Amino acid sequence: MYLGCNAAILGRSLTKTTSIAAHIATLRPGSTVLPLTADVRSAASLSAAVSEAIQRLGRIDFVICGAAGNFLAPVTALSANAFKAVVDIDLLGSYNTVKAVLPHLRETALSGGGGRDVVVKKILFVSATMHYTGIPFQAHAAAAKAGVDALSATLAVELGPLGITSNVIAPGPIRGTEGMDRLKGPGVSEKDVDMAVPLQRQGTVRDIADATVWLLSEAGDWVTGAVVVVDGGNWRMQAGRTPGWPGIMGLDWEEVVGRRKRNNTGTKL
């Protein structure tokens, strides 16, 4: 916001989205941050939200697709419905978002004239790195994020002639986020996570914001079809590093979940 843009942010809870929008708006006096609600799994819901954004803001120059859902579960305890729920949010939700925004991106991009030197419209996906190596208990999320990467690559090729770029940011462990708190596992300290990263620290929200600014700025105008990993080198070390694996696979998963909930002693599974 402090670089001069106005924005619309989308979430399922209007209360939460409104609160976050108000906080973001404090970054630049006079800025507009529009809170919207929609379910990314519903194309109709997203289309309505995009129409409201266009009506209130005038146009859309950039879209960031960051909807995600995740939890830990081995394939043996992962139902088809649970697998589908994550794919629907992460992959289908990203696709629905692009489909809802694309007519507006295309219209304003074409108004700049074909073959120009400056690309003016951009799509950015938020992905992950677990599918690079395979991580236990993440089959659902890995499949969904691999699909997001493939979707972005296809869009980069299809939409390039229209002056629209498509790229991916793949964050590593980001300190203080809900995802990190949920997935790091019981008994795993902040220091444990820091020391597992080659650069010896977790990422920050600022790390991801800086990469986003680069891709959405003129400095990123000739970058498309890229996956920008912002993880301190973490994915190079992640395979087989899940706490308690593979021994945990011999346990009943309901027992594992129960132990995680009861674990207040710092003992690793």
Which active-site residues does the annotation give? 127, 145
- The answer to whether the CB of 236 falls within 8 A of the CB of 205 is no
Distance CA 181, CA 164 (A): 35
Tokens 């132990």 -> residue: 259
Picking from 94, 116, 227, the residue whose alpha carbon sits closest to that of residue 163 is: 116
Picking from 167, 184, 166, the residue whose alpha carbon sits closest to that of residue 175 is: 184
> Residue 6 corresponds to which tokens in the numbers above?
């106005």
Picking from 53, 62, 51, the residue whose alpha carbon sits closest to that of residue 4 is: 62
- The answer to whether the CB of 33 falls within 8 A of the CB of 7 is yes
DSSP 71-125: ----GGG--HHHHHHHHIIIIIHHHHHHHHHHHHHHHHHHTT-TT-SS--EEEEE
CA angle 20, 26, 29 (to 5 degrees): 140
> Residue 238 corresponds to which tokens in the numbers above?
């992640």
